[in-house]
Structure 1
Amino acid sequence: MLTLASRLRALDDAALRRMIGLRRVSAHGIHDFFDLAEALLDPDAIESTLSRLDRSTLAVLAVAGELGAPSLATLVESLADLGHDTLDAADIAARVDRLEELMLLVAVDGTVRPYPAVTAQLRGWPARGLPSAADLAGVPAPTPLAPLSATDGRFTERLAAERAFAAVSSIAELLTELAREPARELSRGGLGLPDTKRLSAVMGIDVDEVAPLVSVAARAELIVLAGGYWGQSPAGEEWLVNGAATRWAVLAGSWLDALPTDVREILAQRPGVAWGDALHRFVAWLYPAGGAWMDERIAVFARDAELIGITARQATSAAGASVLVGDLDAAVATITASLPAEVGTVYLQHDLSIVAPGPLSSSIDARLRTFADVESRELASTYRLSGASVNRALAAGEDAESLLAFLASISVTGIPQPVDYLIRDAADRYGRVRVGALHPDDPDGASYVSSDDAALLGAIAVDQTFTPLGLSPVSATRLQSALPAHTVFWALTDARYPVAAEDAAGTIVHPRRHEFTAAPRTDLPDPSIALVETLRATDGGEAKAANAWLARQLDAAIKHRQTVSVSVRMPDGEVVDYLLEPASVGGGRFRARDRRADIERTLPLSSIVSITPAP
């Protein structure tokens, strides 16, 4: 431990923080470098680190431990003799460097020396059903992941394309709905059942599929959680106007970025193959101590890969193979050829329906949704116009001419008279009811509802839907509410009244129902910085460290009532050995009973040369 503590002291702050992060060291209970060394050599801490090492790295560590302190050349030769398939000395040297960075061994004077506690941990593996040093080096990998047949490959491509299209479409519906009405995150995590059912209906998927797709969208930062609610992000709005292939690339790219490096390396080396049980067997071989944590990582990312078409029935698609090797451009080209072609025209019907003969261009679809409701979402989607849907667009800043001009530009059937009439009538009626803040400098204060149409205002006043608003008449043309203007405005909008919001000057304004949610940026302090500062503050140099180590050994002897042999350098330079029973340590001295002379001695720590357990 003294050797490791001295080595830790010699690291610069950056290297020390990196090591603390790599070993996942908790600052709890660590006050000096000896505490840190003790924490690193704790059996549980060693096992946790070993569980995250691949088989070849473990073989290097275990074989070096069996050999004691081999040179790199001897280590390479021994690994080869055991059947290790990596004979490149540079590769072995790189693994030694990584193990040294993890403080599992020390490479000095051309030798590789694992710490005894690490070697002891590995030697105990066979008794727990884990591989020995010889097994780590010599047992070959299981049967490689099987390549797909031509028939299976065609099926995989077709199914993957369908899933990619379905995921993009469902997440588009998710974003649109969350922009309209955010979904609450429960305190224990996950969405509540009412919100889940609402999103399930909008997205056209089963209830069980909502949470995974919400996770996919959140990982891509298309939606963010703020104030306990999931809402659309600015990135989500930009995503909605992109083409289907570009949308898919965002989902695939975020999946790849979040994929653990070790898992990515496994899959990238074997693109175009079936995953399934063969992958789990390979992972179990590659990470023999990985256990459930590695299986769980594989399971989560395999689920999401299936959802977005990177795989289909646990087989990698052509686009997915390109994603795994990091070539998103090739993946987009592949998925573009697989997805149904987008269309840019629609059929306007006299019954106020709008029929798209295929998947609509994203920009057209986004614009249509602002003033028409989606009735069905398949390859050929159907939208429907209504007074309420048109009023929604008018509240967002559209007018009759802009809506009619847009429809004329995409319709192959012209604009039927009922459509023209509906839009112009809604525009004429829009703003017959106005909502504003009673005190403009307090937008969250009381509000008013006004209209020159006394009959319409009277209908609002007696509408039982608005009882929670507490509307009370103050004149023939005005009602008043203690609630904010935006609350009253959206309540009237939902009830399909021709309402407009206005400012203090009476000018119509176009409020957004839910402001874009910005991803919260919480810069959490790095705990390793405080830990390193603590370690440096308690470090008094080599002399103090040596005394601290002696004191620690004596404390252990006192705790376990252990007799020790203490070598003490006398003033004349002679070294005298005492057989002592330590009683206490403090003030740079320790007090003990001399077993041979049967007297009590008090000795300065600075005079002690060594301490060893008595036989």
Structure 2
Amino acid sequence: MPAVPLTEWLRGQDDQLLADLLRARPDLATPPPADVAVLAARTGSRASVTRAAEGLDTFTLAVLDALVVAGADSSPVPVDAVTALVGPGADPSRVRAAVEQLVRLALAWGTADISVAPAAREASGLYPAGLGQPSDALAGVDIPALLDELTEADRRLLTTLAHGSPVGRTKDPVVSSGVVVPLERARTPVQRMLAMGLLLRRDAETVELPRQVGLALRGDSPLGTVRLDEPALRTSRHPSSTVDATGAGEVLELLRRTESLLESWGKDPATVLKAGGLGVRDVRKLTRELDTDERGAGFVAELAFGAGMIADSGAPSNAEWLPTTLADPWLTATPANQWATLAAAWLDLPRLPGLAGMRDAKDRVLAPLSDDLRRPPAPAERRRVLTALAGLPAGTGVASPDEVADVLAWRAPRRGGRLRDEIVRWTLTEATALGVVALGAITSAGRALLTDGPAAAAKRMAESMPEPLDHVLVQADLTVVAPGPLEPQLAIDVGQVADIESAGSATVYRVTEASVRRALDIGRTAEELHELFRTRSRTPVPQSLSYLIDDVARRHGRLRGGAAASFLRCDDPVLVAEVVAHPAATRLELRRIAPTVLVSPLPLADVLDELRKAGFAPAAEGADGEVLDLRPTGLRLPASARTRRAGLPTPPSDERMRDIVHQLRAGDTAAATRRGRTVSLAAGSGAADTAATLALLREAIEQRGHVLIDFVDSRGVASQRLVTPFRVGGGVLEGRDATGDAVRQYPLHRITTASLIGT
């Protein structure tokens, strides 16, 4: 039976199917098609068909290939014939479901007999299902009988082409000459197959296996080796609480590293390479500071960049990577909210951090934070991986990232490009470092991030994190162990008087003379430090720690400095004399202005640093005599709009889809109706044109006819509307929309043309 054109088939569908089609294939709706004929042209275009096929799984693609092989692009094909081509293992009901999916996407149309657009053949590649072009010379030939007469060498040649590429290259002189020798004179397998018509010459070095021969050799598997069923995932079950707790432990380590990066670059910014990105030397330095590997350091930098907390200073020369003003509110936020900021930035990050360290086509190393890592499809691919994990029961972990890659490759074999499987592995590695995935399973916070957004995810992460501790364990070797996350104020207090020696689920601090002096420098007193350890340690405070605090405090602050540019004062003239006699006094240009006072033209911070290196223990004081904290606060860049992350585009609303479908119906109605004269209300038209337009609209009202208007709405979207007008005045046309059957008002200044058509 003759094929129903795609245009007529679309025209016969209901509005809901058209709206679903536009939603499933959004490229068809941009810009809105004027009528169904335009929609059909877009639907059948090669680019659109290829894009839609990228979302099909292996089985559905096999059904589409079967339709193409069966010739559905030229005449309708029964569904039963498609089932036979897919293979003996194909369930007919499953084939029918795949056909229905293709119909919903308008990649195929029909009911019992199915048609596909000619572009489906191009979208399937030059050789659909690995089969060559049909040969007219083999029409009506008993191919199995011919194959039975072949020698082992001849059959082996054809079998190789049938189960691989149908095109082969050869140096046989007969192929080069283009002259097919008679069968009785053929000497090689290629010559014999050409003489029998079982091979076709394509050019001087290429032969092709005809489709009929390939199908005959494949036997019960006409489409070749097709994996009709999705690969099974090996999984393991864990209590959800265990998964969430493991993920929360990773989060604490990630937050520590991010804070370290912001602190480090606030004091000593990294250099921006001339080509953009972070240099090898800075990556290695960051690796040491964060106590991780180069890939982990680059990932933390990419996270901070994606969250807008670091940016390129943009200086004409010597540009640097600096924290932005967004870093300060992040540093003061709760751990759960800190994590949510980073996780949301990662989920929508249009970059692939995993590319860092690889080489491009020119053999150049791809640097972290460079534009070379930008890949706009990355957020969609990331969500696809997480959605696959979210489809498993809670607490169910996958055994291997490679198995997840295999499953996703089966679900969308034409999607992802050459990095498809690598993206899956990178995503799972990064998600594990973020606490979105733990033990191979998606965490509760990760699931909430994917479905409900950062706010809900932060709440779930807060529930997963261990309760902050109000105590530490002081050891005899002057180490302080925090067996878990500390309360914010306690973490600040301990961080002031001790240095982190190792971090993780349990953080180990070490108290040294320098760390005690640092605490005293910022205004803490010896008594406050004793009180801190006495009240917050669950273990007895060792005498060695008490002696250390008292000894440093006894020497600390006896020598005090101020700005003159700077000054030093001391109640002990002997100590002042000792400072003056030291070689450092010459470098600092110290001058005694009183028995107990010295001044210097150098900044106070430089004077104090030099004296500390000389073995003294000075402290800074303010105008009121109190101890000052002279530590640098860190450099900051203003956060600009370009540093803020942008989420995925919002899908069109149902109302917008209905409007587009109404426009399609209006365009069809207008195209099927005889059109009368047309006038323009475009900007710049004269008063005479305006009068003619009003006359046309009044004529339509008197005749109870219709007008087709080109209308631009308040969002600047142009469309055609078929309207039955019944009033015009006050700068407004009022009438009934012939498609939506609703009374609407159209400002005349938004109408560009109006055409009078029949009643």
TM tier, smaller:
0.5 to 0.7
Q: Which runs of 5+ in 1 are unaligned?
A: 1-21, 24-40, 71-79, 100-113, 439-446, 527-539, 545-615
Cα pair distance change 1:140/1:431, threshold 3 Å: same
Contact 2:561–2:621 (CA under 8 A) maintained in structure 1 = yes
**CA distance in structure 2 between the partners assigned to 1:372 and 1:495 by the alignment:** 23
Cα pair distance change 1:333/1:509, threshold 3 Å: closer
Structure 1 residue aligned with 2:486:
361
Structure 2 residue aligned with 1:517:
636
Does 2:126 correspond to 1:127? yes
Cα pair distance change 1:254/1:422, threshold 3 Å: same
Q: Secondary structure at the match of 1:478?
A: strand
**CA distance in structure 2 between the partners assigned to 1:247 and 1:369 by the alignment:** 19
Counterparts of 1:54-133 in structure 2 under 5 Å?
A: 54-55=55-56, 83=95, 85=97, 123=122, 125-127=124-126
CA deviation after TM superposition for structure 1 residue 228, in Å: 1.5
**CA distance in structure 1 between the partners assigned to 2:402 and 2:512 by the alignment:** 53
Deviation sequence 1:325-364 (CA, Å, 0-9, x none): 446368537844xx6x75432344565x243362242422
Structure 1 residue aligned with 2:600:
480
Q: Which moved further from structure 2: 411-420 or 46-55?
A: 46-55
CA deviation after TM superposition for structure 1 residue 264, in Å: 1.4
Choose the corresponding residue for 1:281, options 388, 406, 422.
Answer: 406
**CA distance in structure 2 between the partners assigned to 1:316 and 1:489 by the alignment:** 53
Cα pair distance change 1:61/1:127, threshold 3 Å: closer
**CA distance in structure 2 between the partners assigned to 1:424 and 1:255 by the alignment:** 48
**CA distance in structure 1 between the partners assigned to 2:636 and 2:347 by the alignment:** 24
CA deviation after TM superposition for structure 1 residue 148, in Å: 0.8
Q: Secondary structure at the match of 2:126?
A: helix
Contact 1:348–1:414 (CA under 8 A) maintained in structure 2 = yes
Contact 2:250–2:432 (CA under 8 A) maintained in structure 1 = no
Cα pair distance change 1:515/1:455, threshold 3 Å: farther
CA deviation after TM superposition for structure 1 residue 288, in Å: 0.8
**CA distance in structure 2 between the partners assigned to 1:231 and 1:465 by the alignment:** 35
Does 2:601 correspond to 1:471? no
CA deviation after TM superposition for structure 1 residue 371, in Å: 1.3
Deviation sequence 1:55-97 (CA, Å, 0-9, x none): 38x98999999869x9xxxxxxxxx9994746779x977x67x
**CA distance in structure 2 between the partners assigned to 1:61 and 1:256 by the alignment:** 33
Structure 1 residue aligned with 2:332:
238
Q: Secondary structure at the match of 2:566?
A: strand
Cα pair distance change 1:236/1:86, threshold 3 Å: same
CA deviation after TM superposition for structure 1 residue 410, in Å: 0.7
Choose the corresponding residue for 2:569, options 433, 451, 455.
Answer: 451
Give the residue type in structure 2 aligned to 1:332.
M
CA deviation after TM superposition for structure 1 residue 392, in Å: 1.7
Structure 2 residue aligned with 1:373:
499
Contact 1:346–1:412 (CA under 8 A) maintained in structure 2 = yes
Choose the corresponding residue for 1:308, options 434, 438, 450.
Answer: 434
Q: Secondary structure at the match of 1:510?
A: coil
Counterparts of 1:68-217 in structure 2 under 5 Å?
A: 83=95, 85=97, 123=122, 125-127=124-126, 143-144=230-231, 146-150=233-237, 153=238, 164-166=248-250, 168-169=252-253, 171-173=255-257, 175-176=259-260, 178-179=262-263, 181-187=267-273, 188=275, 191=278, 196-197=283-284, 199-217=286-304
Q: Secondary structure at the match of 1:356?
A: strand
**CA distance in structure 1 between the partners assigned to 2:337 and 2:123 by the alignment:** 52
Structure 1 residue aligned with 2:320:
228
Cα pair distance change 1:543/1:394, threshold 3 Å: same
Structure 1 residue aligned with 2:369:
none
**CA distance in structure 1 between the partners assigned to 2:232 and 2:446 by the alignment:** 14
Contact 2:249–2:505 (CA under 8 A) maintained in structure 1 = no
Contact 1:234–1:517 (CA under 8 A) maintained in structure 2 = no
**CA distance in structure 1 between the partners assigned to 2:269 and 2:128 by the alignment:** 47
Does 2:386 correspond to 1:261? no
CA deviation after TM superposition for structure 1 residue 506, in Å: 6.4
Alignment size in residue pairs = 440
Deviation sequence 1:99-129 (CA, Å, 0-9, x none): 9xxxxxxxxxxxxxx9x9xx75971651288
Does 2:457 correspond to 1:328? yes
Cα pair distance change 1:46/1:331, threshold 3 Å: same
CA deviation after TM superposition for structure 1 residue 160, in Å: 8.2
Pairwise CA RMSD of aligned residues? Answer: 5.8
TM-score (norm 1): 0.54
Cα pair distance change 1:487/1:519, threshold 3 Å: farther
**CA distance in structure 2 between the partners assigned to 1:301 and 1:54 by the alignment:** 19
CA deviation after TM superposition for structure 1 residue 275, in Å: 5.7
Contact 1:391–1:430 (CA under 8 A) maintained in structure 2 = yes
Contact 2:255–2:338 (CA under 8 A) maintained in structure 1 = no
**CA distance in structure 2 between the partners assigned to 1:299 and 1:493 by the alignment:** 50
TM-score (norm 2): 0.45
Contact 1:280–1:295 (CA under 8 A) maintained in structure 2 = yes
Cα pair distance change 1:464/1:263, threshold 3 Å: farther
Cα pair distance change 1:177/1:124, threshold 3 Å: closer
Counterparts of 1:490-529 in structure 2 under 5 Å?
A: 497-502=616-621, 508-515=627-634, 517=636, 520-522=639-641
Does 2:524 correspond to 1:398? yes
Deviation sequence 1:506-559 (CA, Å, 0-9, x none): 6653344133635631459x9xxxxxxxxxxxxx98999xxxxxxxxxxxxxxx
Cα pair distance change 1:171/1:256, threshold 3 Å: same
Give the residue type in structure 2 aligned to 1:390.
V
Q: Secondary structure at the match of 1:149?
A: strand
Structure 2 residue aligned with 1:580:
none
**CA distance in structure 2 between the partners assigned to 1:474 and 1:52 by the alignment:** 82
Structure 2 residue aligned with 1:298:
424
Contact 2:312–2:322 (CA under 8 A) maintained in structure 1 = yes
Contact 1:284–1:291 (CA under 8 A) maintained in structure 2 = no
**CA distance in structure 1 between the partners assigned to 2:623 and 2:268 by the alignment:** 29
Contact 2:484–2:506 (CA under 8 A) maintained in structure 1 = yes
**CA distance in structure 1 between the partners assigned to 2:432 and 2:530 by the alignment:** 42
Identical columns (%):
23
Give the residue type in structure 1 aligned to 2:253.
S
Cα pair distance change 1:330/1:53, threshold 3 Å: farther
Structure 1 residue aligned with 2:152:
none
Q: Secondary structure at the match of 1:292?
A: helix
Contact 2:272–2:278 (CA under 8 A) maintained in structure 1 = yes
**CA distance in structure 2 between the partners assigned to 1:204 and 1:354 by the alignment:** 19
Larger Rg: 2
Cα pair distance change 1:174/1:257, threshold 3 Å: closer
Contact 1:404–1:420 (CA under 8 A) maintained in structure 2 = yes
Cα pair distance change 1:321/1:174, threshold 3 Å: closer
**CA distance in structure 2 between the partners assigned to 1:516 and 1:159 by the alignment:** 38
Contact 1:372–1:383 (CA under 8 A) maintained in structure 2 = yes
Structure 2 residue aligned with 1:410:
536
**CA distance in structure 1 between the partners assigned to 2:261 and 2:126 by the alignment:** 56
Structure 2 residue aligned with 1:533:
none
Counterparts of 1:420-431 in structure 2 under 5 Å?
A: 420-424=546-550, 426-427=552-553, 429-431=555-557
CA deviation after TM superposition for structure 1 residue 310, in Å: 3.5
Cα pair distance change 1:309/1:504, threshold 3 Å: closer
Q: Secondary structure at the match of 1:406?
A: helix
Contact 1:234–1:518 (CA under 8 A) maintained in structure 2 = no
Q: Which moved further from structure 2: 391-400 or 123-132?
A: 123-132
